[in-house]
Structure 1
Amino acid sequence: MEKPIIIFGAKGIAHPALEIFNSHDLVVYGFLDEDERLQKTEINNVAVLGGPEDEGFLKLIGKKCEAFVAIDDARYRASIVKLLNERRKVQPVNALHRLSYISTDAAIGHGNFINAKVTIGAGASIGNHCIVHTNASIEHNTRVGDFVQIGAGAVVNAGATIGDGTFLGSGVIIVSGVSVGKNARIGAGSVVIADVEANQTVFGNPAQVIEK
């Protein structure tokens, strides 16, 4: 990756994403964020240039710059990815921390944020635009969908399946072979020993469904 990177979003994972790219000696051109209060400020000497739909900066994507989407909210992240796909015909790049371990036999899609000390085992599959926080472990032969967020220290054991849009809080344990449906939410510290249906929220040890 030789082109400079424009980071979409200037909050949340934006600063650690900048650190990751700097550690790989990659140039970050700047940030774009919809919050006007952040525009014309700096993060570690890198400017917040304007908004994410500013055509003057968007036109650089795919020609002179790459893009990375550093937005925690999965729905908003998806809207920015769609903008980049449709208007610039590009996929965001991955931000992979030097201190992460990714098996040579694992498959990883586009636009993922993989922080320090994350382990991704042999035969694991990570989709697109996921956020995997520090010290999370994704064991062998797991399947993680798109737009999944996995909290710090979470463990997804071998053969588990995590559906698109799912949120796993910090310290969550998913037992081997368990399937978690799309857009489920797993509360921090929960131990999931049975399948979770799509759109369910569960919490506890063992995890129980939280009625809305």
Structure 2
Amino acid sequence: MINPVIIFGTGPMGHHAMEIFESNGVTIYGFLEEDASRHGTELNSISILGRPDDDGFLKLIGKKCDAFVASDDNAYRKSMVKMLNDKRHVQPVNAVHKRAVLGVSVSLGHGNMINSGAIVEGGATIGQHCVIHSNAVVGSMAKLGDYVQIGIGSIVNSNVEIADEAFIGSGVTIVAGVKIGKKARIGAGSVVIASVKDGETVFGNPAQAVK
């Protein structure tokens, strides 16, 4: 990656993205942010330029700059990705910290964030626009769909399948071969030993459905 990056969002994920790109020596052109009160200010000496739909800045993307959407709100991320697809015909780039470890046979989609200390083992498949937080482990042959979030220090063992938009909290352990359904939510610290249905929320050790 040689182009400067425009980061969409100045919240916690915006901070993470900034640190990740800077760890790789990538120039950050600036931030785009919904909150107009922040326009014209700076975040760690990097300018907050304007709104995410400002055509004056969007026209740079795909020519002089790349883009990254830094939000853990999947609905918002989807809307920004669609806008970039429709208006600029581009996908957001990946943000992979230099202290993350990816096996040589990992399959990696677009727009993913993989933070410091995360490990993705060989043969794993990571879809589009996923977030793998610091020190999380994704085991060999595991499969993540799109817009999946893996919390800090969680362990996804080998051959686990996680469907689109699932949320895995911090410190979770998912044993080998388990399937996690679409939009399922796993509470922090849980140990998941059985498959989780679409839309289901589970918590505990062993994890049980929350009603």
Q: How far apart in 2 are the matches of 1:100 and 1:19?
A: 13
Mapped partners of 1:91, 1:66: distance in 2: 9
Residue pairs, 1:21-170, within 5 angstroms: 21-170=21-170
| 1:128-170 Cα deviation digits (max 9, x unpaired) | 1011100000000000011011100000000000010010000
Amino acid in structure 2 at the alignment position of 1:138: V
Aligned positions, number: 211
Give the 3-state SS of the residue equivalent to 2:86 in structure 1.
helix
User: Letter of the aligned partner of 2:67 in structure 1?
Assistant: A
Q: Is the 8 A contact 1:10 1:38 kept in 2?
A: no
Residue range with higher mean Cα deviation, 18-27 or 115-124:
18-27
**C-alpha RMSD of matched pairs (Å):** 0.8
Partners of 1:12 and 1:74 in 2: CA distance: 15
Other-structure match for 2:188: 188
Give the C-alpha shift of residue 4 in structure 1.
1.0
Unpaired stretches in structure 1, ≥5 consecutive residues: none
SS of residue paired to 2:196 = coil
TM-score normalised according to structure 1 size: 0.98
Stretches (4+) displaced over 6 A? none
Amino acid at match of 2:71: I
Q: Secondary structure at the match of 2:19?
A: helix
CA contact (8 A) 1:182 1:198 kept: yes
Equivalent residue, structure 2, for 1:19? 19
1:37 Cα shift?
Answer: 2.2
- Among all aligned residue pairs of Structure 1 and Structure 2, give the percentage whose two residues are the same amino acid: 54
* Other structure's SS at 1:75 match: helix
Of 12-21 and 151-160, more deviation after overlay is shown by 12-21
C-alpha separation in 2, matches of 1:24 and 1:185: 32
